[in-house]
Structure 1
Amino acid sequence: MVVVKRPVGRPGRFDNFERFEASLSSKKTKRPAYCDGIGIYKGATVTTVWVKITLPRGGTYNGRTIPVGGPVEHKLGKRSSWDWSQLVAERDRLQGLADRGEPLEAVEVDTFAKYASEWLERKKPTMKGYGVTKGHINSALGPTFGKKALNVITIADVNRWIGKQSAKLKPATVQRQLSTFNAIMNDAVRSGVIEKNPTDRADRIKGVEPRQRFVTDEEWEVILKAVDKIEQDQEENKERTPQQIRGWLRHYVVWAYNSGMRRAEILNLTWDNVRKINGETTVIEVINTKTGKPRTVTCTEEMLTILPALRALDRVEGDNRLFPVSLTTLKRSLTGLWRATGLRDIRLHDLRRTHATLLLQRNIDPRTVAGRLGHSGTAMLAKHYAVDLGDMEAAKAFSTPIVKRKKPKEAADAIEEDGEIEAARSGDLAAPEGHAP
């Protein structure tokens, strides 16, 4: 009987890998064994697979700097999760990334909550209004964006958030919250974490208009009378009123009106900031400014009278501030003051706007006014701080009666008649017929 031999088929595509794996000892080793860039490591309980990649341009991997042409070993996971075709495809994909100079590891982008928390901590030493900004992040932004990775937040996400917030809050409040979100996302763009800020093309918040509230002379008198009444009541009840909330409110309000300083700028002033120039002029060095750029503000006569009164205030030993009061106490005191005036929609910042307006009305150069307020240019004056003086002049001109112009012949006859009358008065001409000379 003739036995027919079966033809031997060609080796399988992955025979070399299968033989390689079969040849591995079951004994635990310290490093993976490799075949054509694919490695296997037999541990005590699980077998894992690896790939070895060459970095022709060098780079970084797993926190280490890899020289040009250096190799890296990249762990893929359990052997049972991969077949040979998948391993070969993954090896080739990673080698392609290395050849193009792209990172081998997937970049894990922080969530908004994590990045915002780190941003806030980084900005805290120089940030004005830290508490307000923290409130925006925790209460307004966190519930919507907190768990999302920065790179997956879309324009649609931002628009939905704007709609939700606008349904329950004033437009200006939503705008302030959005400004905090915008600052965080712009920081992420500058840091290379994300490519674009989704707020760049988000819907605009409607109803946000620049505030243009100014204090008239009559309103200023009302404010002073109200603050005097409050301080009189505090003095009469000083045994029940702590020293921290007595004797400074009028000085603070008048100082704001005369200096044009911001609320926090005044609170942060110390006696070291009071300087004398040429033995005559007293200036205030404003260091903790909103823009971070210090400036000097020359004292008005009223500010000069306030300084000795501030020195006489009762204060905690070692307190070197001009106004020995906390921000919380200031807010409460001002809220009570505005309520006592009965004026509609008044705020401390309105005194700053009024200060700028009064200076411009007295023909002080706009650049000088901008420098006193701490602005780098004059654009903010027209937008937020000062009444349009050109418009005021236009209103005055409109109210001025227009002089009626005479026609050319009427004007000539009038001139001739005026000349004859004048000549008659001087005796140069005979008086007109029917008139006595």
Structure 2
Amino acid sequence: MTTPRDTPASRRTRANGDGTVYQRKDSRWEAAGYVLAPGNTRKRIRVYGTTRNEALAKLTEKIANSNRGVPIPSAQGSVAAYLTYWLDAVAVDQLRENTHTRYTACVNRYLVPGLGKKKLAKLSAKDVRTWLNQLRTTCQCCSRGIDARRDEARCCAVGSCCSKRLSPLTLTYIHSVLKSALEHAVREEEIPRNVARNVRTGTPRPRRFEPLTTDEARQLLTTTQGHRLCALFELALHTGLRKGELLGLRWEDLDLARGTAAVRRTLQRTSTGGLTTLPTKTRASERRIALPTRCLQSLKVHHERQQHEREAAGTTWQHNGHVFTTPQGRPIDPTNLTRTFTTLLHTAGLRRIRFHDLRHSTATLLLEQGVELVVIKELLGHAHIGVTATVYAHVRLRLQRQAIDTLNDALNSAGNAPDDPSTPAVVR
């Protein structure tokens, strides 16, 4: 009599609804089962793997998504159907909420209107390239009907195109979203290759920014003296912390005795949760940094001021442990911080810049002081030093010019001046 233990692994039965798993003649493992398909129907799908566990894991993931009511599109389905599935069943678990929101807007605004009707299995690199070229040359007011929805038409609706085209950076972002979606389709064996990877969009020029000069930075710091968030702006300029990292700091993250700060979280506003504390942007962003003496003194003064505000607020104070809060103890909305920063720039008589440009200013000033690139990379929390080198390439070129000029002055100094040909040589 054959017992379950004696039954070969490829022929063991599984629970009803779990599908079947067996080994093929080519030594690969195949798993098959029924999942929910578009149109509220069910279809049998097959997935493959080099091991039984790999094939079973792929099938289990698809069945789990199906049980959640997410239809599994087939390669014969449209690109729009697959993008909807990818956003709802895959990307939603892998991306932050704000990033997922941007991906969704990109898919609905550009990908679905441009490529949505094509079959996923028949999508070619030529289709993607043609679509991107069309996006690059098409006025967005015309294609999306923006002008027609205005109270007073002034562009395409009155026959005068403004030629408002997408920037190279936006085109690259749209292309990257498509590549990410198709890459998952390859992993799920819906399509054999990612055709979007065969299309080159070119490398867009880095976003231009104008960091503060040394004199402008001093002027801003002088203007912030006495402001209730003076410590925040000093910390931003001295350490290059991101806006969300500054607002997400808690007193438990600071070691004022040793002069260090642990960057562990960031504060963001999401569409569903409001002001939410999240992990740092990347694993490299989670770091411990040294604090200068000026920041330590400002933080101590800020702590005393916060205690006075807490006493004044009484029972209305909402304690959450954040270093920088409103006078009632609530977290500071990033948008409100931007407004405060813009007001301070106007008061200081400085040109208008983004708050994020304070981070660029920190890196630029450090580079100009001769600080090693690897030290700046660790301070800013970049994942790779190549990111730091690329973003601040203009600063490195200026430093190269200074170095070349210094060498030129040394070679042309009085002691090394060439002999005057009019001076007769002395024969000894």
The bucket for the TM-score relative to the shorter chain is 0.5 to 0.7
2:309 aligned with 1:308: no
Residue aligning to 1:286: 264
Flag structure 1 segments of 5+ consecutive residues without an equivalent: 1-56, 75-102, 232-246, 417-437
Quick check: 1:354–1:385 contact (8 Å CA) kept in 2? no
User: Among residues 20, 37, 54, which one is paired with 1:65 in the alignment?
Assistant: 20
2:255 aligned with 1:267: no
2:289 aligned with 1:297: yes
* Matched pairs, number: 312
Between the aligned partners of 2:347 and 2:129, the Cα distance in structure 1 is: 40
Change (3 A) 1:385 1:340: farther
Change (3 A) 1:292 1:304: same
Between the aligned partners of 1:257 and 1:199, the Cα distance in structure 2 is: 40
TM-score, reference length from structure 2: 0.58
Residue aligning to 1:394: 404
Residue type matched to 2:87 in 1? A
Quick check: 1:265–1:289 contact (8 Å CA) kept in 2? yes
1:376 Cα offset (Å): 4.5
Between the aligned partners of 1:183 and 1:106, the Cα distance in structure 2 is: 18
2:391 aligned with 1:384: yes
Deviation digits for residues 367-407 of structure 1, max 9, x if unmatched? Answer: 22221121344333332136113332113334564542228
Q: Percent identity?
A: 23
Any residues of structure 2 matched to 1:351-430 within 5 Å, and which? 351-385=358-392, 387-388=395-396, 389-398=399-408, 401-402=412-413, 403-406=416-419, 413=426
Residue type matched to 1:396 in 2? T
Quick check: 1:58–1:67 contact (8 Å CA) kept in 2? yes
2:125 aligned with 1:155: yes
| Aligned Cα root-mean-square deviation (Å) | 4.5
User: Among residues 107, 115, 130, which one is paired with 2:86 in the alignment?
Assistant: 115
Between the aligned partners of 2:301 and 2:120, the Cα distance in structure 1 is: 53
Change (3 A) 1:377 1:148: same
Quick check: 2:125–2:196 contact (8 Å CA) kept in 1? yes
Change (3 A) 1:209 1:360: closer
Residue aligning to 1:241: none
Residue type matched to 1:199 in 2? A
DSSP-derived class of the 1:352 partner: helix
1:258 Cα offset (Å): 0.9
2:323 aligned with 1:322: yes
Between the aligned partners of 1:297 and 1:350, the Cα distance in structure 2 is: 20
1:259 Cα offset (Å): 0.9
Residue type matched to 2:169 in 1? A
Change (3 A) 1:307 1:145: farther
Residue aligning to 1:136: 106
Q: Which is worse superposed, 193-202 or 330-339?
A: 330-339
Deviation digits for residues 173-202 of structure 1, max 9, x if unmatched? Answer: 333333333333334434444333333222
User: Among residues 180, 185, 203, which one is paired with 1:183 in the alignment?
Assistant: 180
Quick check: 1:213–1:346 contact (8 Å CA) kept in 2? yes
Deviation digits for residues 126-160 of structure 1, max 9, x if unmatched? Answer: 56745444433443434434565544443334334
Flag structure 2 segments of 5+ consecutive residues without an equivalent: 1-9, 25-31, 34-58, 60-72, 139-164, 266-278, 311-316, 325-330
Change (3 A) 1:127 1:283: same
Between the aligned partners of 2:124 and 2:338, the Cα distance in structure 1 is: 38
1:214 Cα offset (Å): 2.6
Deviation digits for residues 234-289 of structure 1, max 9, x if unmatched? Answer: xxxxxxxxxxxxx33x443322211112222223222222235xx43333333533
Between the aligned partners of 1:342 and 1:159, the Cα distance in structure 2 is: 47
Residue type matched to 1:280 in 2? R
Residue aligning to 1:47: none
Residue type matched to 2:322 in 1? R
Between the aligned partners of 1:106 and 1:127, the Cα distance in structure 2 is: 27
1:297 Cα offset (Å): 1.0
Between the aligned partners of 2:94 and 2:75, the Cα distance in structure 1 is: 25
Between the aligned partners of 1:165 and 1:345, the Cα distance in structure 2 is: 31
Residue aligning to 1:346: 353
Change (3 A) 1:325 1:152: farther
Residue type matched to 2:392 in 1? Y
Residue aligning to 1:18: none
Between the aligned partners of 2:121 and 2:345, the Cα distance in structure 1 is: 45
Between the aligned partners of 2:199 and 2:75, the Cα distance in structure 1 is: 26
